[in-house]
Amino acid sequence: MAVKLKLKHLLFLSALGSPIANAGAYIALAPALIHIKTDDGSTKPFVTDLRLGYAYESHKVELTTMSSISNDNLNQLETDVPAAAALFYRYTIKPKSSLSVDVILGYSQIDIDFKDPMTPLTTETFEGVSFGVGLEEALKSIPQLKFKLDLIQLYRGDRLNINSLSLGLRYEF
């Protein structure tokens, strides 16, 4: 009985990792523009967007981390995103197409540094539900490599919205 159960588990796990099941781990890397919009104005610092994920047919789960590349200024208010993390679920609408469209839903936490000449550095953390849309185009010569474009609302508040626009590459193992 135990041998049959172990054999069933091994067959199931091997099917998940097979090319027939269209499943596997991937990594994505992209520069991203973070658009921080308030009632008084907006800033757009740049970050590096690194994602580790697992795809199974039309479903993907991603762990995302972002770190600062450059800050932005608005009326001498310097804004930077030193760190951000998120967990995303992506559903691919047409998984067999070379151009795929993903609906993205997740949870994000974003640290934002604010600094102006009159006050010291202040760090605030914003967290909440995230949603967005993503596009991917597979290369014909290297089908494991895909160009990706994501537009995600990372945080939505009463007086503050934080969006991310990233353009990069995804490689499936």
Domains of the chain: 23-172 (2.40.160.20)
- What is the model's pTM? 0.81
Q: How far apart are CA 158 and CA 132, in angstroms?
A: 19
84-123 pLDDT tens trace: 999 999 999 987 777 899 999 999 999 999 888 888 888 9
- pLDDT for 23: 78
Positions of the chain with pLDDT under 70: 1-22
Q: How far apart are CA 162 and CA 153, in angstroms?
A: 6
